[in-house]
Chains A and B, each alone.
Chain A
């Protein structure tokens, strides 16, 4: 499989984010929550505070590094939940058909009728703010697309010879689904999950910005932008860096997902982009 520019660029950016998050405890010059000296508040970027300081006197650079941990956690966990729900529902709906299929389809239609951010908002309103509720909310939001893809893949794979052979051999349905069908749709599912990571990070940022997601003083990039809004006149740099961090990581995930999609889709391989 040949990978294009999209993939490698995306992989590089993603790797950067992962490194930032993983190495944060060692390379961050300050503690993101505790090193808050009001004497140092709203300082522009200089040699001590590479990205400046925020309203509480905390080092923006350190907070950004630790923020990567939050973004990655949100991205990965939410997509794992999404994929599990989507694949399970979609695969079983496609394989068994009948009333279960109708039920899943109806549920998917309803989910697709609610804008995802609104749904996440509603769930957050019920569960209260914080990381665990956020993971649940985002995990419950975008599974419908994955479900659709899983279902249509299952429908087309179901009629393949080797699946029918397995059925005649008496293999249990679940075994067939997980050993024969699932491996063959991993490609598109993976692409959706990668692109979904970007969407999840953006949603988390929006929710935290609104005060409904990760609460201060935790260094979520989105909540850093809430403070930035108040300080925009006097300390505009506080707005620049967290947003840039979000932008670059989502760009990385998107490019990675696009690159994966381009390599996996046989149509794309024969046509020039």
Chain B
């Protein structure tokens, strides 16, 4: 198992390197620059001298090859550069906000799993029932909702009208601040989990070894407990892993909507002002997290299913 773990972790390295390079390539061609965006509100004329000076300060006027070498050497030292806007090291900016983002992502996923998986399970055990139909309609609706719209509506209902929850912000880290953003973010994974769990459990129920289990004289509950659950778990774990990717993407929007002080809102703000080092750094960190989560999912998968380790 250890060998398998190391092997999987190793596979992350080439991918992240390529992604880092890709990020550099993409952002080296950004038209305009941070300096010009400072003056882009149209109220002042952009003074070319000022812009030239700022560009020199930020190192944007250096030839591409030099910039590339700087970028790579910095990365090797885990230095993600310095923010144009705040002059602070990018890595510090990210580290400050990492905790908040993680909290949100984990809370959303936990919510999705705790509600979505049991629903999918029950729907599969009673196909064609009212619960099944309602769950399926709910699931496809959940997948079609624009998440930020749901967030707006929930905000309106629970915060502004009923005043049960704060409408935005991290506050002092209280749970009540986490509820609305986590639920909003968790709805789409919930819908997909309900659907895939249902399909997975149905597949398992139709499998031959379930017929064998019945022929041994097991009751329905025992069949589920001893044979269905573990086999369905494999599919559930895979789905959770797949979902994390789009969750992280959507989290960016939700963080902005609820003014949640995470990496996502940092990214949006930085894109708006073309603070390139921050944008590059945050995207790299986000991708790295995503890859690590995928690896973790693969490892859990291998721990559950003995057939995987053979490969």
> Which of B221-229, B231-239, B244-252 forms part of the interface with chain A?
B244-252
Contact of A118 among B31, B143, B249 (CB under 8 A): B249
B-side contacts of A126, CB under 8 Å: 26-27, 29-31
Given contacts A110-B15, A115-B286, A206-B146, contact A225 B152 (CB under 8 A): yes
Chain A residues whose CB sits within 8 angstroms of the CB of B127 once the complex forms:
272-273
- If over half of B's interface residues share one DSSP class (helix, strand or loop), that class is named, otherwise mixed; here it is helix
The answer to whether B283 and A118 touch across the interface, beta carbons within 8 angstroms, is yes
State in angstroms the CA–CA spacing of A63 and B152 once bound together.
Answer: 20
Give Cα A229 to B252, complex, Å.
Answer: 17
In angstroms, Cα B143 to Cα A198, docked, is 9
Chain B residues with a Cβ under 8 A of chain A: 15-16, 18-19, 22-23, 26-27, 29-32, 127-128, 140-141, 143-150, 152-153, 155-156, 160, 202, 206, 245-246, 248-250, 252-253, 256-257, 267-268, 271-272, 274, 279, 283, 286-287, 290-291, 294
Which 7 residue pairs across A and B have the least CB separation, nearest first? A117-B249, A243-B149, A115-B249, A251-B144, A250-B144, A125-B271, A246-B146
Number of interface residues of A (CB under 8 A): 46
A248 to B, closest residue via Cβ: B144
A-B residue pair count with CB separations less than 8 angstroms = 132
* A236 CB contacts on chain B under 8 angstroms: 156
Q: List 17 A-B contacts (CB under 8 A).
A: A115-B245, A115-B287, A116-B246, A118-B287, A121-B252, A122-B283, A125-B30, A126-B26, A206-B148, A209-B148, A209-B253, A233-B160, A243-B146, A247-B145, A250-B144, A251-B140, A272-B128
A residues neighboring B (CB under 8 Å)? 106, 109-110, 112-118, 121-126, 128, 198, 202, 205-206, 209-212, 222, 225, 228-229, 232-233, 236, 239-240, 242-243, 246-247, 250-251, 254-255, 258, 271-273
Q: Given A113-B15, A116-B246, A118-B286, A198–B144 Cβ distance below 8 Å?
A: yes
Is B271 a contact of A114 with CB atoms below 8 Å? no
Dominant secondary structure of chain A at its interface with chain B: helix
